[in-house]
Amino acid sequence: MEWLLPVGIGFLLTVLVLGLRIVLVLRRSGHHRPGKKGHVSLLVVAGSGGHTTEVLRLLSCLSESYSPTHYVLAETDKMSEEKIHLFETSKHKPSTDPMYTIHRIPRSREVRQSWSSSFLTTLQSLVYCFPLTFRLKPDVILCNGPGTCIPVCFSALLLGILGIKKIIIVYVESLCRVESLSLSGKILYCVADYFIVQWPLLKDKYPNSIFLGRIV
């Protein structure tokens, strides 16, 4: 497995170079979709299982100022898109133009996938995420644990590092995580601008988190 490290580093450098080229092309074309004046453009990461259900409950508590909403989900996720459509159509009249978009990216890690191969698939997902995040330029990213949020959040960080736009990352740990963080939570704990937990034990273990009690 020694070959994984040089391959991974080389692949990451390729991603960064490709990302910079895409930035230059998109800047010249002026292709972006800013939110309306006085509105907050929101990018929401959906996930299979209960992740999408939880994040939609969070969205139901937000005002209409959070628009447009852009959803990102894994290309193998067959259930989340239907839940999103049902949720959004319940908010708007049929004649109203949709204020949301749905985007698919390669899944960074499948269930029971080995950690070594997950590293490479996550980098592959990052290749797709960076130009998407650059094009959408959301004001806020909201996620609650699916592995898909890792490349999305790191794409947002890269935009900030390059001085293109500072995107606020809000991470809400899943309700089912009572005593320990999910893998996504452990990775993003020091990255998210606001890291929210729903159980007091997690607040004790991770003092930089924000405890709000049960919010989903």
Any domain includes 134: yes
Any domain includes 51: yes
Domain harbouring 36, CATH code? 3.40.50.2000
Instruction: Give the pLDDT of residue 109.
Output: 59
Any domain includes 216: no
Instruction: Give the pLDDT of residue 37.
Output: 58
Burial 126-136 (b: 16+ CB within 10 A, else e): bbbbbbbbbeb
Any domain includes 202: yes
Instruction: Give the pLDDT of residue 110.
Output: 58
Predicted TM-score (pTM) of the model is 0.79
Amino acid at 20: L
Q: Is 24 exposed, middle or buried (0-12, 13-18, 19+ CB in 10 A)?
A: exposed
Q: Which among 197, 167, 155 is positioned nearest to 180, based on CA atoms?
A: 197
Q: What is the chain's pLDDT, residue by residue, as a tens digit (216 residues)? A: 444 444 444 444 444 444 444 444 344 434 444 455 568 999 999 987 789 999 999 999 998 889 999 999 998 888 999 999 999 988 765 545 568 999 999 876 555 555 555 667 777 788 889 999 999 999 999 999 888 899 999 999 999 999 999 999 999 999 999 999 998 999 999 999 999 999 999 999 999 999 999 887
Any domain includes 52: yes
Any domain includes 46: yes
For residues 55 and 171, the answer to whether their CB atoms sit within 8 Å is no
Domain encompassing residue 107: 4-211
For residues 140 and 42, the answer to whether their CB atoms sit within 8 Å is yes
Indicate the number of domains in the chain: 1
Please state, as a whole number, how many other Cβ atoms lie within 10 Å of the Cβ of residue 47.
26
Any domain includes 130: yes
Any domain includes 11: yes
